[in-house]
Chains A and B, each alone.
Chain A
Amino acid sequence: MSAKLEIRNLVKRFGGLVATNDLTFTVEPGESVGLIGPNGAGKTTVFSQIMGEHRQTAGTIALDGREISKLSTPARIRAGVSRTYQVPRPFADMSVAENIRVGLMPDSVWQMISVGPDPARELELALAVGFSEDQLDRLPSELSMGDLRKLEMARTLATAPRLMLLDEVFAGLTVGEIAMISDVIQKMRGEGMTFLIVSHDLKALEPLVDRVVAINQGTLIADGSYDAVMADGAVRASYLGTA
C-alpha cells in the first residue's frame, strides 16, 4: 500500500514565471510529508506536475523508482498516485455512492459495460472516510464542506492509490470536521499509506506528518522535522512573514 516518491531537479516555467525552481525531495514509503509555503509558493503546481496535469519543463518524477513524468494522468493513477483538490470537485448530479463509483471504475470501456457496480465496495469506502450508510444517496449539494472533502478522499481512495496527495485538505472546515478528517488520515497512515499533504493550517498538519518540506517561489527552503522547519529562519521570513 506504500510508494516512494522521488522528485529530482523539477522545474516548471509558465512563460517568464518560474513556478517550480530546481526542486528536489523524496517521500519514503509509508511516510507522511507536509508540503508548506506561503500563497503562490507553487505547492499546487508541484501536485499538478506529479499528476501530469501540467508537464514539467525539466527534472524527473519517479514512483518506486519508475519514471512517471511521461505518463498520462490516468496512467499515473494506475501506477498508484492520486490527489484531492483544493476546491472539491464532486459530480454534482450524482449521489455519494455514484461519485465513489466513478473512482472505482476500471479504465476499460468493455469492463465498464460488462461488469456492474460494486455497492459493497462503495459502502466500504464511504464508511472508511467517515460517511454513514444513510448518506450514500445524498447529492453533493446536500453535503457540508467537511463531507465534500470526505467524498473527495473516498473517490481518491477508490482508485487504490499507494501515494495520496492531499491539497488544502482542511480549508473551509470547522474544528470538528478537521478532527474528523485528521482521524481518517491517521487511520490510513496506520495502514501504511504514503502521504504528501499541502495545508495552511499548520496546527492541524503537525500531528499528521513525519516531515515537512517548505518551498517559496518554487524553491526548496527547508526540509526536515516539523519543529526544525518551523524554527528555520528562511521559512519564518517567507511563510510566517517574520525573520
Chain B
Amino acid sequence: MGLRWYHFALWIAFIGVMFALPEYVSKGTLRTLIFANFLAVFAISWDVLSGRTGYISFGHPFLIGIGAYTSAILTKRFDFPLEASIPIAVLVTMVGGLVVLLPALRIRGSYFALVTLAYMELMYQLVQVIRPDLTGGTRGMSGLPTLTRGAENGFYMSTCLMLAVALSTWLLMRTRLGTALSAIGMNEDAVSGSGLSVTRLKMVAFLFSAMLAGLGGAMYVHYLGSIAPRALFDINFVFTIIVAALIGGAGTTIGPIIGAFFLTFLLEYLRPWLPGAERYLIYGGVALVLYMIQPKGIFELVRQSLSKLRRAT
C-alpha cells in the first residue's frame, strides 16, 4: 500500500507535537485548538465524500446534526449514558443519512450540492416544529452531560478524536478503495467502464463520511454541553467546513487538518482587530489568493516546496 517509514515518523511527530502543546500554550489557545480539532474532523468527513468522489455536499451539517441531536435527546430526555448515546448517534447518522441521501447519490454535479443544501435547511425547520419538547425547538438544549471538564481535558479529548479519525481515514484511503474513490472524482464513467459498481463505492464513501460526521457531531455537542439549531444548520458553518478542506488540500487526509487549523487560527487572530463579520472578508480574500497560487491547497504548496528544496540540494 506504499507505506514508508517516514509516513509513520511524521505521524508520530505530529502526535508528539499535539500532546506537548498544553505545556507551552495558554488555555485560550487550547480552546481555539479544540475548535480546530472538531473542524478538522468535520472537514475530513466532508472530504471523504466530496473531496474524493467529487460529490460536493453542502449539507454536511445535516449529518453532523443527526449525530448531535440524537445523542443530545437520548441523554437529556431519556437519561442514556454517554457511552451508549454516542455509538447510537453514530449508527443513526449512518442509517438515517443513507435513507435520506442515498437517492441523491444518483444525481450529479450541482444538483447533488443543491439537494444536500435543501436537506440541511429542512433539518433546521424540522427540529423546530416536530416535537420541540424533544429537540428544544428554536432554543435548542442546554445542560447536556459533558465528556470533559476544563480546557486541557477538552483538548486531549478532541485531539484523540481528531487523530483517531485522521489516522483511520488515512489508512483506509491508502488502500485500493481510496484509489477507486479518487478515480470517481476524476472520471465516474471510466470507473464504471473498469468494471466497478460506482453506486456501491459512493455508498461506502457516504457511510464512512456519515460515521465521522455523526461521531464528530455527537462528541462536539457533549463538549459544548448545549445545542442550538441556528449555529449548527448555518450556511457559514457549511462554508467553513468546505473551505477548510479545500484550502488545506481536498482529496488528502492531512489537507483538511491543515485547513481547519489555518482557518480557525486566522479567524481567531483577526478577532482583536476585526471583531465583526469583516473577518470573513479577510478570510475569503486569503482563500482566494491561496487558490490562485495553488488550487490544490496548502498541502500541495508545501509538498511542491519540499520537492523543489530536495532537487536544489
Closest Cβ of chain B to A221, distance in Å, is: 29
Pair A51/B187 contact, Cβ less than 8 Å: no
Give the size of the chain B interface in residues (CB under 8 angstroms): 23
Return chain B residues, CB-CB under 8 Å to A74.
192, 195-197
* Complex CA distance for A126 and B116, rounded to whole angstroms: 41
With contacts A74-B196, A107-B195, A116-B1 taken as known, whether A101 is within 8 angstroms of B176 at the C-beta atoms is yes
Q: Besides the contacts A94-B183, A115-B176, what 10 more A-B pairs have beta carbons closer than 8 Å?
A: A74-B192, A78-B195, A91-B190, A92-B186, A102-B179, A103-B195, A107-B195, A112-B180, A114-B175, A155-B190
With contacts A74-B195, A102-B191, A116-B1 taken as known, whether A109 is within 8 angstroms of B172 at the C-beta atoms is no
Closest Cβ neighbor of B3 among chain A residues: A116
Q: B200 within 8 Å of A by Cβ?
A: yes
Closest Cβ neighbor of A83 among chain B residues: B193
Return chain A residues, CB-CB under 8 Å to B179.
94, 98, 101-102, 105, 117
Give the size of the chain A interface in residues (CB under 8 angstroms): 32
Return chain B residues, CB-CB under 8 Å to A216.
none
Interface residues of B in 182-225 (CB under 8 A from A): 182-183, 186-187, 189-197, 200-201, 204
* Complex CA distance for A158 and B177, rounded to whole angstroms: 17
Chain B CB within 10 Å, residue with most, of A91, A116, A155: A91
Closest Cβ of chain B to A109, distance in Å, is: 5
Main secondary structure of the interface of B (DSSP, over half): helix
* Complex CA distance for A93 and B189, rounded to whole angstroms: 16
With contacts A73-B192, A73-B193, A107-B196 taken as known, whether A89 is within 8 angstroms of B177 at the C-beta atoms is no
**What are some 19 contacts across the A-B interface (CB < 8 A)?**
A72-B197, A78-B195, A83-B193, A91-B182, A91-B186, A93-B182, A94-B182, A102-B183, A102-B190, A103-B195, A107-B196, A112-B175, A113-B172, A113-B175, A113-B177, A114-B175, A117-B1, A117-B176, A155-B194
Q: Looking at the complex, which one of B1, B172, B182, B193 makes contact with A85 (CB distance below 8 Å)? A: B193
Closest Cβ of chain B to A137, distance in Å, is: 12
Return chain A residues, CB-CB under 8 Å to B200.
107, 109
Return chain A residues, CB-CB under 8 Å to B192.
73-74
Return chain B residues, CB-CB under 8 Å to A77.
193-195
Q: A2 within 8 Å of B by Cβ?
A: no
* Complex CA distance for A101 and B2, rounded to whole angstroms: 13
Pair A105/B190 contact, Cβ less than 8 Å: no
Closest Cβ of chain A to B204, distance in Å, is: 5
